[in-house]
Structure 1
Amino acid sequence: MNGKLTNLTNEIIEYYGPKRPDHNDWKDYDNAWYWLRSGKSTDDNIDCDGFYIPADRKLKQLVGPIMDGPLALKIIDGVHITVKQSGAIYEVNRPNMGVFKPSDFCRPSNWPYCVNWFIPNYIYAEVVNICTGCGCIDDTITRPDC
């Protein structure tokens, strides 16, 4: 069963989805970034591995302290997570498989200690700039580097 994500924030979320071995920027990672607009959910046939929390956002899980971004949250296979937003805080409604910082990168992945995921130190405006340049706002992604 695939992990699933619903975005109930007012923002675009970058989520970790299927690997893109033919894409130069993503070929060495376990997955790749995709964009999920506000009010949308990932397709049932897509395995959503998790999502990115930008450096100027925070994460509130079901338990534990609020965490500062940048982070990557790993979704449990078969679990549907909904992300809501309260100001700069993303709130999730289900347990997860871990939260990783940029320093938790390793190749190959050694979960639960580290993951071979792209976890940059981007603020939300940088996420939007990348997304907009690739046509994610209006679903016209035509650039081969996106």
Structure 2
Amino acid sequence: MKVWKSLLIALMIFANLAFAQPSFADRPKFSKNPDYIEVTKALNELSKTKDAQTQVQGLTPEEIQKRAEELTLQKYALETGINWGKCENQTGNTIAVYGKRPNDEDNEDAVYDNGLYFLANGQSTKDNWDCDGIYLPNDIKVANFTSSPNGQGEELTGPVALKILDGTQLVIKTNPDSGAIELNVPTVKVLNSNKANWFIPDISQAIIDTRVPNAPTKKS
């Protein structure tokens, strides 16, 4: 009788392991996330710069420290499983943001990798909905923009898509004096139709202002 009980317990343990293994295999590995690889590389480069006490492309030690701190938090967010970004609109106008459409992963006929949504002023996209980035119209500029964590700020004009890293909360504001867009994160990636399968139209801010806001937000 004891032998049968032992065999039964052994079979139960084996069955639990057999069913549990796929769940472990399916867990996303943050180390293979392109955003994580990019953040880690940039953070290592900034750390070497700080250790050598040298400047990078005109950046001051304070700017290097700020970017290193931002990248450290982005890396931590990815390591803890946050695989989505958030966009907050404080521009005074409607903006266009990119994000995944429902059932996109199961839709083999999808033309683009994500959808273009419209986010009203004063709104932010909801938690766990991945805001991939924002669209920059053809008549809007971004001030002090940098596409590299080790790069110096410059001016950028649309139309382009600006991609943010997972784990980032992007706040978009308008400079009241220049009218240019200002971003709170130290770096975003510039995409055009040749670099990504995103819908990047050549339109103005006035056209975007006529759209009905439909981005998933905290209040929706």
Question: Which TM class, normalised by the smaller chain length?
Answer: 0.7 to 0.9
In the alignment, structure 1 residue 74 sits paired with structure 2 residue 151: no
In the alignment, structure 1 residue 8 sits paired with structure 2 residue 90: yes
- Describe the superposition over 1:60-90 as per-residue Cα deviations: whole angstroms up to 9, x where unpaired: 2264211111121001001111111014311
Question: Of residues 29, 36, 54 in structure 1, which corresponds to 2:119?
Answer: 36
How far apart are residue 96 of structure 1 and its match? 3.7
Is the Cα–Cα contact under 8 Å of residues 95 and 209 in structure 2 kept in the other structure? no
Which amino acid letter does the alignment assign opposite residue 78 of structure 1?
A: G
Hey, what does 1:123 align to over in structure 2? 204
TM-score by length of 1: 0.74
In the alignment, structure 1 residue 19 sits paired with structure 2 residue 104: no
Rg larger in structure: 2
Where in structure 1 are there 5+ consecutive unaligned residues? 107-113, 140-146
Point out the structure with the larger strand share: 1
Hey, what does 2:180 align to over in structure 1? 89
In the alignment, structure 1 residue 52 sits paired with structure 2 residue 140: no
Hey, what does 1:105 align to over in structure 2? 193
Q: Distance in 2 between matches of 1:47 and 1:66?
A: 26
How far apart are residue 95 of structure 1 and its match? 3.0
Where in structure 2 are there 5+ consecutive unaligned residues? 1-81, 147-151
Is the Cα–Cα contact under 8 Å of residues 94 and 213 in structure 2 kept in the other structure? no
Is the Cα–Cα contact under 8 Å of residues 74 and 96 in structure 1 kept in the other structure? no
Q: Calculate the aligned-residue CA RMSD, in Å.
A: 2.2
- Describe the superposition over 1:79-113 as per-residue Cα deviations: whole angstroms up to 9, x where unpaired: 1111110143111010344112xxx314xxxxxxx
Cα 1:69–1:88 shift into 2, 3 Å? farther
How far apart are residue 27 of structure 1 and its match? 2.4
Question: Of residues 213, 217, 220 in structure 2, which corresponds to 1:136?
Answer: 213
Partner SS, residue 127 of structure 2: coil
Point out the structure with the larger helix share: 2
TM-score by length of 2: 0.50
Hey, what does 2:61 align to over in structure 1? none
